[in-house]
Amino acid sequence: MESPAWQRACRPRITVGVIQLRPMRLPIQTQRLTLRPVRAEDASSLAMRRSQSEVAEFQSWTPPYPLARAETLIADTMSMDVPEDDAWWMLIIADRDDVATYGDLALRLSWQHRSAEIGFTLSSEHWGNGYATDAVDALLNALFTDLPITRVEGLVHPDNVASAMVLERTGFVYEGQKRLSYWVGDDNSDDRIYGLTREDRESWQGRSAETPNRVDLVEIDVHNERVVARLATHKSQERLVAPMLQSFADAQFPEIVDGHPVVPWLRAIEADGEIVGFVMLAVTTEHHPEPYLWRLLIDRRHQRRGIGGRTMDLVFEHCRASGDRSLLTSWIDGRGSPRPFYESLGFEVTGRVVDGEREAKLALD
C-alpha cells in the first residue's frame, strides 16, 4: 500500500540545514509510461526480471534472484516515504495505465538532495522499444525541476553498450573510467563514469533537433580546422568510428593498400551553416580502382537529424562526378552498428571481412 505522503496534493517541505526540499511529484507520466513508487505486489515481477541472465549480465547481482530477496528490497524501499540521502530508492516503470510492468529505476540522492546517482533495469522482453530512454529522461526532468540537483551520475560496465546509449541519448557526458573498481562475486571489472550537470541538461535539451534546411560539404582549412577537430561521437560509438584525432592522422599519413598509399579526400559537413560532422573518402587512383568511404562522423549533438543520409547523397554525387560506378565501405557489427543505415542506402555486403570489419558495396549507376 502506498504511503499517504505520495497521495497528498500539497506536499510539505522538508528542511535540511538551510535547504528546503520538496519531494518529487509522483507519479511521473510520459506519453507511454508511468513511473510510480514501488508496491508490495511488485516483488514477483522484480524477482523474475532480476533472474533473467541477460538482464543480470552487467548488474550487481547474480541470478536467480529469490522472491524473498525482492520482497525485502521492496519493504526497505517502502519504509521511506521519500528518497533519503545515501539510501537507494526505487520507482517502477509501468505502461501509461499502470497495468504492465516493464522495469525499474533506482535513485540514490546525496549532499542534501544536490547530487544523485541513477540506475535502470528493464525485462529483456521489453528491450528495444525506447522505454529506458523515456523513463530516464522523465526522471531527469523531475529531478532537475523538483529538487536542487546540481549533478546526476550513472556508472556502467564498459561492455554494457545498451545502457551507455540510454545515458548518452539523455545528455550524459562520458567523464572517465575507473579501473578494476567494481566487484560482482569474483568478477572484477572497470566502471565507466557518465555525468550530467544542470547546465549539461539545459544545453542538451536546447540543442537543435530539427532536420536542417541545407547540408553542404566544405573544405577544411585554417579557418575551421579547430571546430572540425572538436567534433565527437558518443563514447559508445568510438568502437565503430574513429575520433577526429585519428582521422586527421590517417589523412596525414595514409595507409598502404596493395603496395601503394591511399589518397584521402576529406570534407567538413555543414548543416545550415554550422559544422556538424566529418566525412573522408579514399578516392580512386590507378592503384585503387574503387573509392572507399573511409570515415563518416556526425557530432553527438547533431545525430538523429537526418544529416547522415543527406551527407551520403552528396558523397554519391561527388563519386559519380568523378566517374566512379561503385563505392565501398565497411562497418563493425553489434549493438549500435551503422549497418542498418548503410543497408537502407543500398549497400550490400560483399562477403569479405577486412581488419575485422564487414565490407559492403553500393552500385552508383
Cell numbers standing for residue 201: 541538461
Element spanning 27, H or E: none
Quick one: which H or E segment has residue 70? helix 67-78
Question: How far is residue 216's CA from residue 119's CA, in Å, rounded to a whole number?
Answer: 40
Question: How confident is the model at residue 82, as a pLDDT?
Answer: 85
Pairing outcome for strands 151-156 and 115-122:
parallel
What's the mean pLDDT in 14-30? Answer: 69
Q: What's the confidence (pLDDT) of residue 185?
A: 85
User: In sequence order, what are the beta bridge partners of 194?
Assistant: 154, 174
Tell me the H-state helices in 253-351. 307-321, 339-344
- Cell numbers given for 199: 547546465
Question: Among 190, 183, 187, 179, which Cα is nearest to 157's?
Answer: 190
Q: What is the pLDDT of residue 18?
A: 46
Using the predicted structure, report yes or no on whether residue 7 has a pLDDT greater than 70: no
For residue 85, give the DSSP letter.
B
The CA–CA distances, whole Å, from 284 to 93, 142, 218, 251, 345 equal: 53, 54, 20, 15, 21
Q: Is the pLDDT of residue 17 over 90?
A: no
Rounded to two decimals, the pTM is: 0.90
Q: Going from the N-terminus, what domains does the chain have, and what CATH number goes with each?
A: 4-205 (3.40.630.30), 215-363 (3.40.630.30)
320-340 pLDDT per residue, tens: 999 999 999 999 999 999 999
Convert the pLDDT of each residue in 42-86 to its tens digit: 999 999 999 999 999 999 999 999 999 999 999 999 999 889 999
Q: Which three cell numbers stand for residue 345?
A: 542506402
Q: What is the pLDDT of residues 163-222, one digit of tens each?
A: 999 999 999 999 999 999 998 888 899 999 999 999 999 999 999 999 999 999 999 999
